Structures are given as structure tokens and as C-alpha cells.
Amino acid sequence: MVDENLINEIKAMREKGPSEPSDALKLFEFMKQLGQENEEFKEELEDIDTIIAQMEVTDIDYKYWVKFGEGAVDYGEGSNDDATVTMKAAQTTWTGLSAGEIDSTSAYMSGDLVIEGNLQDAIAFGEIQGLATELGAELLE
């Protein structure tokens, strides 16, 4: 079961916005726990080729990575030398993307979101996040 304290922290972040760049990792912890209990999400994670996305918050020099595949979600702070795609944006752009206030395609087309590496992996990353949001919506209400 997804940790109740984590759910409450994410709800608070949605209301107030993230206070620290590392708050983004709470969303991936939610996805990790969701993948352990939700069969549909777990199956999706088993069916995809492994994606390792490196995220960079450019205006404050903060980096973290997320791995989807092999039936699980993993993540961590810092750099991952095995990343298949790197996405870079300022903190306000990342905040807007995670809150659903900014569309990733628009951010990419405007240059606010820079994608290096496998563009298909960036698209799949967004799709997996969307599925997790959809499947976990009931928990986050």
C-alpha cells in the first residue's frame, strides 16, 4: 500500500507547490510504491524497454534520475551515466510540468524544456507518468 504520509506530502505539494527541488523525488517514490501494488502499472513497467531519464534543474544546478522498466521504478539524486535521455529545464518549468500547468510539448517547442538523447524515451517517460497519475488519482484526491 502506498504510504499515507507520502500521499499527504504530495497533496500538500499540489496545494502549495514544491518547496525544494528534491520534492520531485516524492512523486517518483509514489510511482515506485504504486508499481508494487497496482498490477496494471506493474505490467506496463514490465512491458517497456528500460528507460533511464536524467533530469536537470538548470537554474539551481540540481540533478536527479528516474528509471522505468523491469517491472519497477527506481530513482536517485545526482547523475546517472546510463541515462538514455536527458531533460533540462528551469525550476519554474519543472514545477509547471509536474502540476500539469505546462504542457511538455509546448515547453519543448518553446525551448523551455531541452531534451537530449532518445526522444522516444522522453515521450514514453511522459506516458508512464501520465498512467501513474491516472491510476493513482483516487489515492491523491
Query: Domain for residue 50, yes or no?
Result: yes
Question: Cell numbers 497519475 correspond to what residue?
Answer: 133
> What pLDDT is attached to residue 21?
81
* Non-local CB neighbours of 107 within 8 Å, separated by 6+ positions: 89, 93, 96, 97, 113
H or E segment and range at residue 75: strand 72-77
Residues in the chain: 141
Query: Domain for residue 84, yes or no?
Result: yes
pLDDT band at 16 (very low <50, low <70, confident <90, very high): confident
Q: 8-19 burial by CB neighbour count: b if 16+ within 10 A, else e?
A: ebbeebeeeebe
Its domain, for residue 131, covers: 4-136
Write the CATH number for 79: 3.30.1050.10
Query: Domain for residue 104, yes or no?
Result: yes
Domain count, the chain: 1
Query: Domain for residue 141, yes or no?
Result: no
Q: Please state, in angstroms and as integers, the Cα–Cα distance from residue 18 to each residue in 24, 26, 78, following that order.
A: 8, 10, 19
Query: Domain for residue 101, yes or no?
Result: yes
Residues 79, 85: Cα–Cα separation, whole Å: 12
Query: Domain for residue 68, yes or no?
Result: yes
Query: Domain for residue 33, yes or no?
Result: yes
List pLDDT tens digits, range 101-136.
888 999 999 999 999 999 999 999 999 988 998 888
pTM score, whole prediction: 0.89
